[in-house]
Structure 1
Amino acid sequence: MAFQISNRKYYVLTGIVILTCLITLTLTVSFIVSKTKDISIENPNHSISSPAKPVWKWQCEKNSCQKRRITDQDNDLAILSLPACRYFCSTSAGIWPIPTGEVSVGDRLIKVNYYSIDVVSNTSDTPINALVQEAIKEFKNDIKSSITSGINPGGLSVVVSLGISDTTTNRLTLDTPEGYSLKISDPGSSSIKVDIQAGTFFGARNGLQTLTQLIIYDNIRNEVQMPNSASITDKPAFAHRGIVLDTSRNFITTSALKRTIKAMGASKLNTFHWHLTDTHSFPYESASLPELHRIGAYDPSKVYTRQDVKDLVEYARVRGVKVVPEFDAPAHVGEGWQDTGYLVCLNAQPWQIYCVEPPCGQFDPTKEGLYDAIEDLYGDMLEQFEPDVFHMGGDEVTFKCWENTTSIVEWMRAKGWGTTDRDFVKLWNHFQSNALERLYKKAGREIPAIMWTSHLTTPEYLVESLPKDKYYIQVWSESDDDQIKQLLDNGYKIILSNSDALYMDCGFGSWVATGNNWCSPYIGWQKVYENNPSKIAGDKVHQVLGAEAALWTEQADSSSVDGRLWPRAAAMAEVLWSNASTGWEAAEHRFLAHRERLVLMGIDADAIEPEWCRQNEENCRTGSRFNV
């Protein structure tokens, strides 16, 4: 006889099964949530055990950390996490960039109570106190970002004292002292004392950044640790340590800009050179000339508003970074200027005749009204950025554009000029001298101007066009270019952005033709690290203000800017901070650890090698002592 069940009984049984499943699911979710709360670092009283007994330890062998199995015979103190091994095994406790003065660190790591790290300063009721308080928040957030699991309770409290001599300076300039001293006293029974002394807020912030790196997370014991003692004195070798980022070819979101600035602060770079506009778009909101961004932005949502700029400048200041605006002219202008009457050659074709990349566009220097418009634009930027220097661009002017503009040629002939290169240099000088005069007028002083290397910086025109007491020259040609020597021999101060080592956009496919882009191949971090200004400038290195890594964004946008810049720009950061004289091999382990640090801070820095190689140092490099 077949088994049968009534519809009524069927529905009852089905309901019971469903109810049972829901109860089971609810209990399961509750259990998972409770466990998730258990491992939160916001709960200081809960003891977190590792999900399984640790299998691996690291030990320092011949200045590198080697992965080894933990055995029953191991003393607990001998079981080192990888961060702890790097502290003991790396030069200068793994600090990046390596300090330039005394470095003495303790021989043991002490468990720290993460929830009891306090920073006090002598800046209350001073003009810089707000900056100091924001920097302290950043310091604590950076420590928190290194904690990858739970924290076991206990540990010593930490009290950090900030002593700042100059409590009024809140703007970074080329002359601002950035050095600091840091001392960790061997602790008593309850707390560890840290003393950071600096001349300015910016030096104190650098000291906090170093302390961030001395506080590590031990993922074997699930605890925060720091050395029992330390004494460090430190200051940068070069005053100008920067990144130039183009936000015109492709718009870069403010969140991506903030990630760049955060990584700069973590690496002790101090100058964000903002290439705001170009022929492709005009995304900057000018209060005086609002039609420029209304016409020239890619989209109304792709504009840097006045509030955006204010927020970014302050965000950068807290992280020890100044923002230097660039308005590139008389070339590299186009979108946004269509209705002004000051623009020629916009999107002229074939573009190869009129400019170096599409779309073309240059100012018409014969239009007197142009200088009023430029003056207004300078005024807006000076008011918002308050820079100690101003970047006027001035590169890649194409004389063919002017030569093919009838009104310009007629104006030149009326002055008795011809149409040779020297005559067009006169026209260019007419623009540059008028633009500089307007910059001075708005600044209320003779603010130093920066110009890219160009036709004007060749020996034939240099001294008469760009007086050395008015201009710094930023070099984008290759490191062996004769122009560098000529600039130095003529007494100019320079900033290096030599394309053979510091152009972060090199090594990708061409976007205007087949094959690779013009500055290929890709530049590895090792070449960036070997690009020392002392090697390039020799005995005139004192005329080198510093250097900038450059990212032009024809083939990069907000989704890729992190990986293009980082961690390679951090390699340059160490060279500029320490004037490193050793090769990249000696810095490799610290560099890889710093890349991991950036990733934990939320920077999408490119991977340099497989993680296995990072966990087994010196086993992967060609010619290493472990290779046959």
Structure 2
Amino acid sequence: MYFLHLLLGQRFSLCPGWYLIGHKYIESRTWQKLRLELTDDGGCGKISNDMDWYRVFAGVLLIVSVNGQSPWRWECDEGFCQKQRTTDETRNVSLSLSACRLFCSNYANLWPRPNGKMNIGHYLAKLNVNSIDVLGPAGDTPINERIRKAAARFKDVIDTKEVGGNRTSGGKSLEVKLQIRNPEILRLRLDLDEGYTLKVSETPDGRIQAIITANNYFGARHGLETLSQLIIYDDIRDEFQIVRDALIEDKPVYTYRGILLDTSRNYISVKTIKRVLEGMALSKLNTFHWHITDSHSFPYVSKSRPALSKLGAYSPRKVYTPEMIADIIEYGLVRGIRVLPEFDAPAHVGEGWQDTGFVTCFNQKPWYDYCVEPPCGQFDPTQEGLYDYLEGIYQDMIEQFSPDIFHMGGDEVSLTCWNTSSTIVQWMNETKGWGTDEEDFMRLWDVFQTKALERYEKKSGKEVPIIMWTSTLTKPEYIKRYLPSEKYIIQIWTTGTDHHVQELLDRDYRVIFSNYDALYLDCGVGGWVNDGQNWCSPYIGWQKVYSNSPKVMAGDKVHLALGAEAALWSEQVDDSTVDARLWPRAAAMAERLWAEPQETWRKAEQRMLVHRERLTKRGILAESLEPEWCMQNENNCPRLTKRGILAESLEPEWCMQNENNCPMYD
């Protein structure tokens, strides 16, 4: 008679297809010692549980007869996987790190952690990755093609879990059924339910079946993402494994979970933008806020106003054509992401507008007297032809993006810029009978905003929520007069503790948090208009991003908080540095917005390290958080400094093409 200890979730090699034969859960991660009786002919007998109880922490269970060559195995000790040396007594015993993490970690190593019911079984099955079927709703539905693309991506995500080696043959097939109640929903909305239910089980014929139920494609896609994280690659056995039993009911806390990427200060390639979208999909973020134009360059190719990109792009190759934009939009939608364009105005305009006559104080010197960074430039709201011109741009964006919300910018308007224009001042004095104090310039700004919005809604044919940044116009004394709360959403870029936040909430404005003290991911590098650090230093670690809670900042007005958005302004960012600046810090925000956890970042640290590995395996150059030693010896490391890999951009490309225009002189 042989007595063997079994390892949670691992295959018992003498009984093919068997993993954990049985267990009984008792208090505080304590397991019953199991006895497997083998028949004299080597067959598989029954389980006996009449032995004494003994205490082992979840996961400190053993597997028999494996072919792993590593001298190391892992044991779960109070929620952390610890590396142990294989001895003569344990030579036939091995637990891979990936399997240990799956069962030992809180929330089964999912990122973001589920916000609802979660029950993960303790069985693993060997998976045949060449036998995976993803089935959508029956019949010809509007989302069939999108499901096909999502299924292909799902298989690719699984495939990239393998690092070297050859796959062993065999394993169970996987059938994924997507049960979508409203397959006609093709676009995100602020009120859309992105929840899903995922059930994984084994069928009588030995297949693994995963059923994902959701109200729409976007929820089903999130379910696929979760399922992919329940599949591991066991590098000891050189095989893929899947959790055999699971039930998860999940949905996000906040409806707006975004990343802003500025592609004007420095051009960002389509390839890099797609990597951003891939990282967002892996982290269940749903809004790509595209700051596509600014005073530095105008890379957006407008069909109705082609001269803007012809004059305003850094080069004919550094543009975004309608075909490129359509590709990015579809790429995002497959991954559950809306692409939200921002046309920032009336400030932040310059290059491209030289021949229109609609811009004042363009590239005015010294720039720091007229704007926050070079080159300066603002629209002249008194020019009636401006609004016809804008109407064409709005029409192009509406046709291309079909936005359910639209961002009109509205930050960093310089009253000094307007005040130095004799045309504007004369119009204010003689036509309107106004003066030139702050309140009068707010009236001028209102003239622009009202007319611009009228032209947008004319081309849209409907009212959509408009997002604008916090600014002078959103001060308590102006906002209700000029920006009605039923129409405008305010994106907050001041600090999270700024009194402005509560003032907006008290006036019933819906808000999106991008407070720079936690969510401006370009902070903490050297300055580019002067020496020292940039204006929003210091560097913001992922821990602070994770701790940045809309619920805490909004208090009892949390129902007005739509969510949050991490911003990456590109003055000192280009293709070589986007990934490391965004990831994995943006993923920290993703879990905050999905689940609004009560636990601190310390409880999430090990899962964060695992998720960072997911990002890198998908080709995203995410910043390293700790030495790999810490990955293999969990809970043994202090926090370490961050390090980049590729050379960072020092300033906007505009400064290279306009030498000696950017330094700030005393």
Match of 1:131 in 2: 146
Counting matched residue pairs gives 573
List gaps (5 residues or longer) in structure 1.
1-49, 624-628
> Which residue pairs with 2:549 in the alignment?
532
Q: Which has the higher helix share?
A: 1
> Secondary structure at the residue paired with 1:262?
helix
Could you tell me how far 1:54 is from its partner in structure 2? 1.4
Q: TM-score, normalised by structure 1?
A: 0.90
Return the offset for 1:110.
1.2
1:86 to 96, 101, 123: 101
- Counting only pairs closer than 5 Å after superposition, residues 355-504 of structure 1 correspond to structure 2 as 355-414=371-430, 415-504=432-521
- What secondary structure does 1:168 align onto? coil
Q: Does 1:101 align with 2:116?
A: yes
Does the Cα contact within 8 Å between 2:407 and 2:467 map onto a contact in 1?
yes
Q: Distance in 2 between matches of 1:389 and 1:228?
A: 41
Does structure 1 conserve the Cα–Cα contact (< 8 Å) formed by 2:68 and 2:94? no
Find the residue that maps to 1:545 and give its secondary structure.
strand
Structure 2 partner of 1:344:
360
Q: Does 1:57 align with 2:52?
A: no
Amino acid at match of 2:289: H
Deviation at 1:53, TM superposition (A): 1.5
Matches of 2:260 and 2:68 in 1, distance apart? 47
Q: Does 1:294 align with 2:337?
A: no
Query: Could you tell me which amino acid in structure 2 is paired with residue 152 of structure 1?
Result: T
Residue 306 (structure 1) aligned to one of 322, 329, 335: 322
Structure 1: distance between partners of 2:266 and 2:638: 37
1:124 deviates by 3.8
Partner Cα distance (1:491, 1:122) in 2: 40
1:141 pairs with 156, 162, 169, which one?
156
CA distance in 1, matches of 2:466, 2:138: 34
Question: What is the Cα deviation at residue 621 of structure 1?
Answer: 2.5
Look up the match of 2:10: none
TM-score (norm 2): 0.85
Q: What's the counterpart of residue 211 of structure 1? A: 227
Q: For the residues of structure 2 that align with 1:390 and 1:460, how far apart are their CA atoms?
A: 25
- Residues 330-370 of structure 1 show CA distances to partners (whole Å, capped at 9, x for unaligned) of 00000000000101111101111100111100000000000
Q: Which amino acid aligns with 1:286?
A: S
Work out whether residues 243 and 272 of structure 1, in 8 Å CA contact, stay in contact via their aligned partners in 2: yes
1:254 to 270, 293, 302: 270
CA contact (8 A) 1:123 1:129 kept: no
Can you list the C-alpha shifts for 1:293-323, whole angstroms capped at 9, x where unaligned? Answer: 0000000000000000000000000000000
Query: Corresponding residue for 1:158?
Result: 174
Instruction: Give the drift of 1:173.
Output: 1.3
Residue 108 of structure 1, CA deviation: 2.1
CA distance in 2, matches of 1:248, 1:490: 34
Aligned partner of 2:593 in structure 1 is 576
Distance 1:618 1:529 in 2: 19
1:324–1:387 CA contact under 8 A, matched in 2 = yes
Q: Work out whether residues 67 and 237 of structure 2, in 8 Å CA contact, stay in contact via their aligned partners in 1.
A: no
CA distance in 2, matches of 1:239, 1:156: 37
2:562, 2:145 → 1: CA distance? Answer: 30
Q: CA deviation at 1:198?
A: 0.8
Instruction: Please give the alpha-carbon distance, in whole angstroms, between the structure 2 residues aligned to 1:302 and 1:490.
Output: 42
Partner of 1:224 in structure 2?
A: 240
- The residue type paired with residue 342 of structure 2 is E
**Residues of 1 paired with 2:375 and 2:597: CA distance?**
41
Q: Please report how far the alpha carbon of residue 447 of structure 1 lies from its aligned counterpart in structure 2 after TM superposition.
A: 1.2
One-letter amino acid matched to 1:191: R
The CA distance in 1 between the partners of 2:481 and 2:129, in whole Å, is 61
Matches of 1:57 and 1:373 in 2, distance apart?
67
Unmatched runs of 5 consecutive residues or more in structure 2: 1-65, 641-666
Deviation at 1:390? 0.3
- Please report how far the alpha carbon of residue 189 of structure 1 lies from its aligned counterpart in structure 2 after TM superposition: 5.1
Q: Is the contact made by 2:68 and 2:237 (CA closer than 8 Å) also made in structure 1?
A: no
Q: What letter matches 1:56 in structure 2?
A: W
Query: Per-residue deviation at 1:121?
Result: 1.8
Per the alignment, residue 321 of structure 1 pairs with 337
Please, which moves more after superposition, 561-570 or 63-72? 63-72
- The aligned amino acid for 1:296 is G
Alignment partner, residue 279 of structure 2: 263
Provide closer, same or farther for how the CA distance between residues 454 and 252 of structure 1 changes in structure 2, counting only shifts above 3 A: same
Q: Is the 8 A contact 2:626 2:639 kept in 1?
A: no
CA distance in structure 1 between the aligned counterparts of 2:472 and 2:546, rounded to whole angstroms? 29
